[in-house]
């Protein structure tokens, strides 16, 4: 559009000339748009002006650096477009200058000043020759915009126009300010709306993606809104839920509780958590834990699936109840919260009777004070502990229990509760009691009997001594015991005995005993008798338990006794001998003296004159008679020696031998004689008098032992053996390492009254021989290759194939 | 003394034998008779004491070991009664103590059985001479 047409348009729009002294501010106030207000003001200016003028209003932005949204009703939109956004600093036109100077800028002749050249590019085509701009101020003096006027000729603004502008500027200021406010509000609204939208969207997200059930319902439990979790968890579609009552979905057993909660909520009370079961589409139930709050006629609820936890709890409850112990849970204040089924069944107390402090009644009144003291101390210290107390069983019997408790803390370390168990230890307590008592007895017994004990674990070499053993050895109680330490006390002569004992132990022999002496620091000697027994401990390790008794006193007594006995025996022997002698003398002398007297008489009678033949005959008769008498006496004496009659039976010589060995083992050991037995297996049985044969064996053993009495350079070893050498007889040998015999002595050995022993009567061997001969056997002695002699006897045996008849034996013997 | 009187004495001399042993009572008196003495035998000391032959007994051949009253007891008894009869003890037992006591109590001789006739004769001569 050319300039004239632009102008024309503007002119056409021009209102009829009006006298206006006041612009209707109300109109301004009511007007909605800033732009229309400002256009109105421009037209008002143009209309009221006498001259031909074009008015425009250029609002500024907030910090007065830029023009925007111009109002120029008489110019077409190209003008508005080119001026919108012009920077003040560009100083394109008088408007800029007005802003910069905060004063009206008048340019009567645009062409006059070259700085308006740019402005003239616009102005010239329109025929605008002069311009003037007036700043529009707010009440506070802030510059809000510019009122611009353009003339078509070179001129100054008329005073009338100036006055008009002042008037209109106020209105413009109000409008612009209001415009700004509205803009700000609009912006604010927009921002707010955006914000709300964003938040709404976020909330929607939460609503949608929450795995927990979110629900909005009516106060009676009718579902109004449900989130997608309902579908995901329970399988119901939204449509199936919305508008339905919660009752349709809550487990019948839980509806009462749920109903109650809903009622609470309906009254406006916020409810603490409650749980119920919801039905899933597939028929199963889920345990849900609910948080709900009422608000303005609605209930807002959030439900968490605790099915797993519930199942876990159930399992745990089941475990706790079936645990073979009494278990419980107490609160930090000491009262009881939960007791497991076993507890109730055992005590017979119901949960109501035992919760809180009720459980105290189950304990023995004597133990309760101590128990409470300890419990209170634990609550304070927070440390796990245990205590023993008697708990009453449902039948009234009190039994000892071990009560243990441990605190359970949350993440911050606060104690939430105490978990505890009560275990029946009554049997253990009884056993402990018995053990304590028996230990006391044992210790006392050991002390009184001067018996000590030790245990020796073979695998580890660990040696443990009882207190009494330390006293026996006169070591400080508790000193670590080593074989070296023991050796310092054992009598030097008995070190071999000690070593032999150790060897027996290493070989794992079951039971063995030994005698040995201790040489004490004060040079006194103690005699000890030890018995050891092998056992396996709980790890199947070999362990020896030994008892060692101080038998010094006993030995002294025994030795005194032995001495007395032997003296007595001696006396007895002497007495016997004396008696025997007297008996012999009397028995034999009578006939003898008769013989002598009669013989003398006979001689005299024969030599008398005349000879007394008759008398001589008589005396001779008497002599013969007396001679016979004497012979009878001898015979009787012999019978006297062989004592009682023998009773024959079938017997195992090994058995008989073992009995004898058992009998005299102690005695042999005391004399430090080492007895070895090599008994043939499968020894055939013999026919004989058990007691008599044992007497023979005993005699041989004793002889052998005595022959080794006082040996110093070698061990006093006695070897007894049985063998089945010949097909029809068994051989028993007793070999010693003693002084032995020279060859001519060997012959005389078995003669009665022969003895090489100072105190021996020498009857033993002769009697032994007669016994053996009574068994159709032989008894003899040979000297050894080494030191000592071997005494042997053989007697007929029962061969395995033959029957055990007496005739057979005789045939064999023969 | 002349031998006649000696013989007469001897003929009248009563030698008592006290012994519980039958063979002694059997054989000894015969020997004594051959030796020329009158003799009587008693089986116990009590029998002798009750016999009434005390007065006549010139010599007593006495056993030691006898049931009830022993030879030594009899010896004591006679001593108490002041009957000084010479005693020849005969015994089978060699007991020093008994022998000493017997001799202390005034026995003439102590013979061990069996004794020879010579020993007996010696003892008798000693007894009768006193």
A565 and A472 inside one domain: no
Query: Domain coordinates of chain B in residue numbers?
Result: 3-129
Choose the weakest-confidence range: A187-191, A437-441, A664-668. A664-668
Task: Give the residue among A689, A687, A684, A719 at the shortest CA–CA distance from A701.
Answer: A719
- Look at residue A810 and tell me whether its pLDDT is greater than 50: no
Q: Are the CB atoms for A532 and A506 separated by under 8 Å? A: no
Cβ contacts from A onto B, under 8 A: 69
Interface of B with A in 29-58 (CB under 8 A): 30-31, 34-35
A542 and A565 inside one domain: no
Q: How confident is the model at residue A801 (pLDDT cuts 50, 70, 90)?
A: low
- Look at residue A580 and tell me whether its pLDDT is greater than 90: no
Q: Are the CB atoms for A546 and A453 separated by under 8 Å? A: yes
Q: What is the CATH number of the domain that holds A608?
A: 1.10.287
Q: Please name the residue of chain B whose CA is at the shortest distance from the CA of residue A621.
A: B27
Overall domain count for chain A:
6
Point out the domain boundary residue: A375, A391, A424: A424
B48-70 burial code (b ≥16 CB/10 A, e <16): bbeeeebeebbbbbbbbbbeebb
Q: How far apart are CA A756 and CA A744, in angstroms?
A: 12
Q: Are the CB atoms for B25 and B47 separated by under 8 Å? A: no
**Looking at residues A294-299, what average pLDDT do you find?**
88
Average pLDDT, chain A: 82
pLDDT for the residue numbered A388: 93
Rounded to a whole number, what is the distance in Å from the CA of B97 to chain A's nearest CA?
15
Q: How far apart are CA A8 and CA A126, in angstroms?
A: 11
Choose the weakest-confidence range: A292-306, A395-409, A642-656. A642-656
For B8, phi then psi, to 5°, come to -60, -45
- Look at residue A569 and tell me whether its pLDDT is greater than 90: no
pLDDT for the residue numbered A568: 55
Helix (H) or strand (E) holding A528: strand A525-536
Q: ipTM for the complex?
A: 0.83
Residue A191 belongs to some domain of the structure: no
pLDDT for the residue numbered A398: 92
Give the tokens for residue A610.
């005349």
Q: Please name the residue of chain B whose CA is at the shortest distance from the CA of residue A626.
A: B23
pLDDT for the residue numbered A551: 83
Tens digit of each residue's pLDDT (9 = 90 or more) over A698-737: 888 888 888 888 777 767 889 999 999 888 899 999 999 8
Q: Do A598 and B30 touch (CB under 8 A)?
A: yes
pLDDT for the residue numbered A370: 93
pLDDT for the residue numbered A686: 92
pLDDT for the residue numbered A13: 47
Task: Give the residue among A313, A302, A299, A306 at the shortest CA–CA distance from A285.
Answer: A306
Tens digit of each residue's pLDDT (9 = 90 or more) over A425-448: 988 888 888 888 888 777 777 777
**Looking at residues A21-37, what average pLDDT do you find?**
62
Rounded to a whole number, what is the distance in Å from the CA of B65 to chain A's nearest CA?
10
Residues of chain B with pLDDT under 70: 1-12, 130
A82: contact with B, CB 8 A cutoff: no
Contacts of B113 in chain A (CB under 8 A): 589-590, 592-593, 596
Give the tokens for residue A467.
């207190």
pLDDT for the residue numbered B29: 92
**Looking at residues A545-551, what average pLDDT do you find?**
86
For B99, phi then psi, to 5°, come to -60, -45
pLDDT for the residue numbered A94: 87
A24 versus A685: which is more confidently predicted?
A685
Q: What is the CATH number of the domain that holds A240?
A: 3.30.450.20
- Look at residue A790 and tell me whether its pLDDT is greater than 90: yes
A171 and A298 inside one domain: no
pLDDT for the residue numbered A804: 43
Give the tokens for residue A44.
């008002």
pLDDT for the residue numbered A403: 93
- Look at residue A372 and tell me whether its pLDDT is greater than 80: yes
**Looking at residues A218-244, what average pLDDT do you find?**
92
Mutate to test the interface with B, among A587, A597, A598 (most CBs of B within 10 A): A597
Q: Are the CB atoms for A222 and A244 separated by under 8 Å? A: yes
**Looking at residues A53-80, what average pLDDT do you find?**
86
Interface of B with A in 94-113 (CB under 8 A): 113
Overall pTM > 0.90: no
B129: contact with A, CB 8 A cutoff: no
Q: How confident is the model at residue A812 (pLDDT cuts 50, 70, 90)?
A: very low
Give the tokens for residue A747.
């012959």
Choose the weakest-confidence range: A22-31, A284-293, A733-742. A22-31
Residue A317 belongs to some domain of the structure: no
- Look at residue A260 and tell me whether its pLDDT is greater than 80: yes
Residue A170 belongs to some domain of the structure: yes
Choose the weakest-confidence range: A247-261, A351-365, A498-512, A548-562. A548-562
pLDDT for the residue numbered A154: 86
Rounded to a whole number, what is the distance in Å from the CA of B80 to chain A's nearest CA?
30
For A229, phi then psi, to 5°, come to -60, -30
A566 and A693 inside one domain: no
Contacts of B97 in chain A (CB under 8 A): none
Q: Do B26 and A594 touch (CB under 8 A)?
A: yes
Q: Which of A95-99, A364-368, A556-560 has the highest mean pLDDT?
A: A364-368
Give one DSSP letter per residue of A374-434, joined into a string. Answer: HHHHHHHH---EEEEEEEE-TTS-EEEEEEEEEEEE-TTS-EEEEEEEEEE-HHHHHHHHH
Point out the domain boundary residue: A309, A335, A367: A309
Task: Give the residue among A487, A560, A476 at the shortest CA–CA distance from A517.
Answer: A487
Q: Are the CB atoms for A372 and A357 separated by under 8 Å? A: no
Rounded to a whole number, what is the distance in Å from the CA of A524 to chain B's nearest CA?
47
Q: Do B35 and A593 touch (CB under 8 A)?
A: no
- Look at residue A214 and tell me whether its pLDDT is greater than 90: yes
Q: How far apart are CA A531 and CA A548, in angstroms?
A: 7
Q: Do B113 and A589 touch (CB under 8 A)?
A: yes
Give the tokens for residue A594.
């008769």
The interaxial angle of helices B22-34 and A613-641, nearest 10 deg, is: 150
Domain, as residue range, for A566:
557-641
**Above pLDDT 70, what percent of chain A?**
86
Q: Which residues contact B5 (CB under 8 A, 6 or more apart)?
A: none
**Looking at residues A523-549, what average pLDDT do you find?**
86
Helix (H) or strand (E) holding A290: strand A285-295
Q: Do B34 and A608 touch (CB under 8 A)?
A: yes
Task: Give the residue among A310, A317, A312 at the shortest CA–CA distance from A341.
Answer: A317
Rounded to a whole number, what is the distance in Å from the CA of B36 to chain A's nearest CA?
11
pLDDT for the residue numbered A732: 95
Give the tokens for residue A486.
């023991």
- Look at residue A652 and tell me whether its pLDDT is greater than 80: yes
Q: How confident is the model at residue A753 (pLDDT cuts 50, 70, 90)?
A: low
Cα within 13 Å of Cα(A672), Cβ side: 18
Q: Are the CB atoms for A415 and A405 separated by under 8 Å? A: no
Residue A262's beta-bridge partner residues? none
pLDDT for the residue numbered A456: 87
Tens digit of each residue's pLDDT (9 = 90 or more) over A300-331: 999 999 999 888 888 887 887 777 788 889 98
Q: How far is CA A614 from the centre of its chain?
A: 120
Tens digit of each residue's pLDDT (9 = 90 or more) over A146-182: 999 988 888 888 888 888 888 888 888 888 888 888 8
Could you give the 3-state DSSP secondary structure of residue A502? Answer: helix
Q: Are the CB atoms for A93 and A133 separated by under 8 Å? A: yes
Q: Do A597 and B21 touch (CB under 8 A)?
A: no
- Look at residue A118 and tell me whether its pLDDT is greater than 60: yes
A18 and A93 inside one domain: yes
Q: How far apart are CA A299 and CA A679, in angstroms?
A: 104
Residue A589 belongs to some domain of the structure: yes
Q: Do A597 and B117 touch (CB under 8 A)?
A: yes
Q: What is the CATH number of the domain that holds A116?
A: 3.30.450.40
Choose the weakest-confidence range: A14-18, A529-533, B82-86. A14-18
**Looking at residues A515-528, what average pLDDT do you find?**
90
A9 and A77 inside one domain: yes
Q: How far apart are CA A96 and CA A85, in angstroms?
A: 12
Task: Give the residue among A136, A140, A144, A147 at the shortest CA–CA distance from A177.
Answer: A144
A660 and A634 inside one domain: no
A654 and A796 inside one domain: yes
B121: contact with A, CB 8 A cutoff: no
Rounded to a whole number, what is the distance in Å from the CA of A564 to chain B's nearest CA?
27
Q: What fold, for B3-129?
A: Rossmann fold (3.40.50)
**Looking at residues A576-585, what average pLDDT do you find?**
56
What Cα–Cα distance (Å) separates residue A683 from each residue in A652, A663, A669, A689, A692?
A: 7, 22, 27, 17, 19
Contacts of A582 in chain B (CB under 8 A): 93
Give the tokens for residue A154.
């070179």
pLDDT for the residue numbered A81: 83
pLDDT for the residue numbered A813: 39
């Amino acid at each position: 559009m050319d300039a004239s047409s632009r102008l024309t348009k503007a002119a056409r729009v021009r209102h009829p000339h009006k006298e206006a002294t006041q612009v209707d501010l109300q109109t301004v106030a009511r007007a909605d748009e800033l732009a229309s207000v400002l256009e109105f003001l421009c037209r008002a200016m143009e209309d009221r002006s006498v001259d031909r003028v074009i008015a425009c209003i250029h609002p500024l932005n907030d910090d007065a650096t830029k023009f925007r949204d111009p109002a120029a009703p008489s110019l077409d939109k190209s003008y508005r477009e080119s001026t919108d956004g012009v920077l003040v600093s560009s100083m394109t036109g008088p408007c800029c200058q007005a802003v910069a100077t905060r004063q009206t800028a008048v340019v009567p002749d645009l062409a006059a000043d070259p700085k308006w050249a740019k402005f003239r590019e616009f102005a010239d085509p329109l025929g605008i020759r002069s311009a003037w701009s007036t700043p529009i101020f707010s009440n506070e003096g802030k510059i809000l915009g510019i009122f611009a006027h353009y003339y078509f000729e070179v001129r100054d603004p008329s005073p009338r126009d100036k006055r008009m502008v002042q008037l209109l500027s106020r209105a413009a200021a109000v409008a612009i300010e209001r415009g700004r406010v509205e803009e700000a509000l609009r912006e604010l609204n927009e921002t707010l709306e955006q914000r709300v939208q964003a938040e709404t969207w976020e909330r929607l997200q939460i609503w949608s993606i929450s795995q927990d059930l979110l629900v909005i319902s009516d106060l009676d439990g009718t579902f109004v809104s449900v989130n997608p979790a309902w579908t995901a968890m329970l399988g119901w579609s939204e449509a199936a839920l919305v508008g339905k009552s919660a009752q349709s979905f809550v487990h019948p057993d839980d509806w009462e509780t749920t109903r109650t909660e809903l009622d609470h909520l309906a009254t406006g009370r916020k409810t603490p958590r409650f749980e119920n079961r919801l039905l899933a589409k597939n028929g199963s139930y889920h345990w849900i834990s609910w948080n709900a709050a009422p608000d303005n006629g609605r209930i807002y609820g959030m439900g968490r699936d605790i099915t797993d936890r519930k199942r876990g709890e159930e399992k745990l409850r089941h475990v706790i109840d079936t645990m073979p112990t009494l278990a419980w849970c107490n609160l930090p204040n000491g009262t009881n919260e939960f007791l497991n089924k076993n507890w109730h069944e055992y005590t017979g107390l119901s949960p109501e009777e035992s919760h809180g402090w009720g459980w105290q009644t189950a304990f023995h009144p004597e133990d309760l004070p101590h128990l409470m003291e300890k419990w209170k101390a634990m609550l304070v210290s927070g440390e796990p502990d245990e205590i023993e107390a008697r708990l009453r069983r449902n039948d009234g019997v009190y039994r000892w229990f071990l009560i243990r408790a441990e605190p359970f803390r949350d993440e911050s370390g606060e104690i939430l509760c105490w978990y505890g168990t009560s275990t029946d230890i009554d049997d253990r307590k009884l056993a402990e009691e018995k053990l304590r008592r028996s230990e006391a007895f044992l210790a006392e017994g050991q002390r009184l009997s001067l018996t000590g004990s030790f245990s020796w674990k073979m695998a580890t070499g660990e040696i443990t001594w009882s207190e009494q053993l330390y006293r026996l050895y006169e070591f400080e109680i508790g000193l670590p015991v080593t074989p070296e330490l023991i050796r310092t006390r054992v009598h030097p002569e008995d070190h071999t005995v000690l070593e032999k004992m150790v060897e027996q132990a290493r070989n794992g022999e079951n039971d063995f005993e030994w005698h040995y002496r201790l040489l004490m620091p004060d040079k006194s000697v103690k005699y000890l008798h030890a018995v050891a027994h092998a056992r396996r401990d709980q790890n199947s390790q070999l362990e020896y338990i030994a008892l060692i008794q101080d038998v010094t006193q006993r030995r002294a007594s025994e030795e005194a006794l032995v001495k007395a006995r032997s003296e007595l025996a001696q006396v007895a022997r002497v007495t016997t001998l004396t008696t025997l002698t007297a008996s012999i003398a009397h028995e034999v002398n009578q006939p003898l003296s008769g013989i002598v007297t009669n013989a003398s008489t006979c001689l005299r009678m024969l030599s008398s004159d005349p000879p007394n033949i008759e008398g001589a005959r008589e005396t001779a008769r008497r002599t013969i008679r007396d001679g016979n008498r004497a012979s009878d006496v001898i015979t009787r004496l012999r019978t006297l020696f062989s004592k009682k009659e023998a009773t024959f039976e079938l017997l195992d010589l090994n058995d008989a031998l073992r009995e004898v060995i058992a009998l005299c083992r102690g005695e042999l050991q005391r004399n430090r004689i080492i007895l070895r037995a090599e008994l043939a297996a499968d020894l055939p049985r013999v026919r004989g008098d058990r007691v008599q044969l044992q007497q023979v064996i005993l005699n041989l053993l004793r002889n052998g032992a005595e022959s080794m009495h006082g040996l110093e350079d070698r061990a006093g070893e006695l070897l007894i053996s049985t063998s089945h050498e010949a097909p029809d007889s068994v051989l028993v040998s007793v070999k010693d390492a003693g002084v032995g015999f020279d060859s001519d002595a060997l012959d005389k050995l078995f003669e009665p009254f022969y003895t090489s022993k100072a105190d021996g009567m020498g009857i033993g061997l002769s009697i032994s021989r007669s016994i053996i001969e009574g068994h159709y056997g032989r008894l003899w002695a040979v000297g050894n290759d080494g030191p000592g002699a071997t005494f042997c006897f053989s007697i007929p045996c029962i061969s395995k194939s033959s029957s055990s008849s007496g005739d057979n034996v005789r045939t064999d013997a023969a | 003394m002349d031998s006649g009187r000696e013989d007469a004495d001897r003929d009248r001399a009563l030698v008592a034998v006290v012994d519980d042993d039958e063979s002694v009572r059997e054989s000894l008196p015969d020997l004594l008779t051959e030796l020329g003495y009158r003799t009587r035998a008693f089986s116990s000391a009590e029998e002798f004491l009750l016999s009434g032959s005390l007065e006549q007994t010139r010599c007593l051949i006495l056993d030691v070991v006898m049931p009830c009253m022993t030879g030594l007891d009899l010896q004591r008894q006679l001593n108490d009664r002041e009957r000084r009869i010479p005693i020849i003890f005969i015994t089978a037992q060699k007991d020093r103590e008994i022998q000493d006591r017997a001799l202390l109590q005034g026995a003439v001789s102590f013979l061990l059985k069996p004794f020879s006739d010579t020993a007996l004769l010696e003892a008798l001569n000693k007894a009768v001479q006193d």
